[in-house]
Amino acid sequence: MNCINEQMYGYGSSRSVIRDQYEYGRKRRAEIGDDNLFDFSLGNPSVPTPSALRDCVMSLLDETDSLTLHGYTSAQGDFNTRKAVADNLNARFDAGLGPDDIYMTCGAAAALSITFRALNDSNDEIIIFAPYFPEYKVFISSAGAVPVSVPFVEKDFQIDLDAFRATLSPETHAVVINSPNTPCGVIYKESTLLELCAILREKSAEYGHPIYIVSDEPYREIVYNGEAVPFIMNLYPDTIMCYSYSKCLSVPGERIGYVAVSPRASDASRVYAAVCGAGRALGYVCAPSLFQKIIERLPGVMPDIEVYRRNRDLLYGSLSEIGYECVHPDGAFYLFIKSLEPDAVKFSLRARDFDILLVPAGSFGAPGYARIAYCTDYDRIRRSIPAFKALFESYR
């Protein structure tokens, strides 16, 4: 008798292509030494955690009694932490949020899983835009909803609004926006987002129910052009924001983030209650207490993005000069390049011959492209350029 869930078995027994490259890298590193491997597979931040964070950990350990520091908080997060998060968003974006609109989570992964679970009634459709973070499909499907993807505009990697309009249906409950984007580093223009919101308003009225935007924003703070990333809640009230401190504070292993439900959303208090219910149902209650207290004290600490900017400039400039077709990244820490052959998996395997580890982008909804995570040290990028050149020349 089969006593396991086949869907879960499928997720657990098939390794993501990113993890596959990572595991290959682990073995190869043991053979040739870390310095000789150009591993660009994982989006693990390379900027040291801010010193203010270390100081904060030390003073919390010194000053706070251990049972309080390490004890349970409220299921949705400590009130003072939620208030600090809401106050910070209000000061920066005039968001009108209160503590009871915030739900603290174990990073964006939990925030997204909770949100999809909260919004799905039964087999509802949730739209994602290619290129997308591959785990969206896992989070959406396991919430019982159906992920439906919309292709990108190859010219500038903005959203294909005509294709988007054609994809909407009465079954659509939500649309996921990720800007700055994994895997291509593009920031969606405000004009694109305004048009998208206008379409959503029109379709919500036509279908007689709200269509929510789920705004996945782990890279909000990592932008290079000095322009603010549009704050979607201010463009469209039916917005639920999923945020993570993983990338901006370089703490992906600590698992801390939040869901923020716009107070201006239709049924905002019911949506927030459903978020709390989904957190309860999934067992995602009480995000790590120590890190909640850190966030309460340091809600506005920003990363030093100059390190990533230098890496981006070196990699984008050098690869473009060699002849690679690269998407210009305005944010996040990924460079998206066109594969040198139609099958990007074969291209990534050929890159291994030059000890370069890339991620083929089929699982991101962009076959024919590959992702390079440049959150690594500058010197490694500099030393990788001859290998990229040799890879390019191997196709001549």
Q: Strands, E, within the chain: which ranges?
A: 38-39, 102-105, 125-129, 146-150, 172-178, 212-216, 239-244, 257-261, 326-327, 334-338, 356-357, 359-360, 369-373
The 257-261 sheet, strands edge to edge? 102-105, 257-261, 239-244, 212-216, 172-178, 125-129, 146-150
Q: Output the smallest distance, CB 183 to ligand PLP, in A.
A: 8
Instruction: Classify residue 48 by its DSSP letter.
Output: P
Least distance in angstroms from the C-beta of 129 to ligand PLP? 11
In DSSP terms, which residues pair with 260 in a beta bridge? Answer: 102, 241
Q: Which is nearer to ligand PLP, 109 or 143 (CB)?
A: 109
One residue of 47, 56, 109, 159 binding ligand PLP per CB under 6 A: 109
Query: Which of residues 218 and 230 has its CB atom nearest to ligand PLP in the complex?
Result: 218
C-beta closer to ligand PLP: residue 38 or 129: 129
Strand partners, 370: 337, 360
Q: Is the torsion defined by CA of 39, 42, 44, 45 positive or negative?
A: positive
How many angstroms separate the first and last alpha carbons of the chain?
55
Q: Which residue, among 174, 179, 31, has the nearest Cα to 115 in the 3D structure? A: 174
Least CB distance to ligand PLP at residue 122 (A): 25
Distance CA 288, CA 286 (A): 6
Shortest Å distance, C-beta 104 to ligand PLP: 12
> How far is residue 149's CA from residue 137's CA, in Å, rounded to a whole number?
9
Q: Within a 10 A sphere around the Cβ of 162, how many other Cβ atoms?
A: 11
CA distances from 213 to 208, 240, 262, 316 (A): 16, 6, 10, 31
Closest distance of CB 113 from ligand PLP, Å: 9
Q: Which is nearer to ligand PLP, 176 or 319 (CB)?
A: 176
Site string for ligand PLP, 231-260 (x = CB under 6 A): -------------x-x-----x----x---
Residue 313, C-beta contacts closer than 8 angstroms, at least 6 positions apart: none
113 near ligand PLP (CB under 6 A): no
Among 53, 102, 108, 285, interactor with ligand PLP by CB under 6 A: 108
Q: Is 125 in the site for ligand PLP (CB under 6 A)?
A: no
- Supply 319's token pair: 């690869």
Task: Please give the structure tokens belonging to residue 326.
Answer: 């690269």
What is the identity of the amino acid at 55?
D
Nearer to ligand PLP, 303 or 391 (CB): 303
Residue in the shown chain whose Cβ atom is closest to ligand PLP: 107
Q: Whose Cβ is closer to ligand PLP: residue 244's or residue 262's?
A: 244
**Rule CB under 6 A: is residue 218 a binding residue for ligand PLP?**
yes
Query: Binding string, 257-296, against ligand PLP, x = CB under 6 A?
Result: x---------------------------------------
* Residue that has been written with the tokens 């597979």 in this structure: 41
**Closest CB 252 distance from ligand PLP, rounded Å:** 5
**Contact yes or no for 292/256 (Cβ under 8 A):** yes
Angle of helix 107-119 versus helix 268-282 axis, rounded to 10: 120
Angle, alpha carbons 140-145-146 (nearest 5°): 85
The contact pattern for ligand PLP, residues 25-54, with x = CB under 6 A and - = no contact, is: ------------------x-----------
The one among 25, 45, 50, 107 contacting ligand PLP by CB under 6 A = 107
Number of residues that bind ligand PLP (CB under 6 A): 13
Q: Report in angstroms how near the CB of residue 119 gets to ligand PLP at its nearest.
A: 17
Nearer to ligand PLP, 76 or 178 (CB): 178
Q: Smallest distance, Å, CB 241 to ligand PLP?
A: 12
**Segment 155-184, which members bind ligand PLP (CB under 6 A)?**
178, 182
Q: How far is the CB of 181 from ligand PLP (least distance, A)?
A: 7
Please give the residue ranges that form the binding site for ligand PLP (CB under 6 A). 43, 107-109, 133, 178, 182, 216, 218, 244, 246, 252, 257
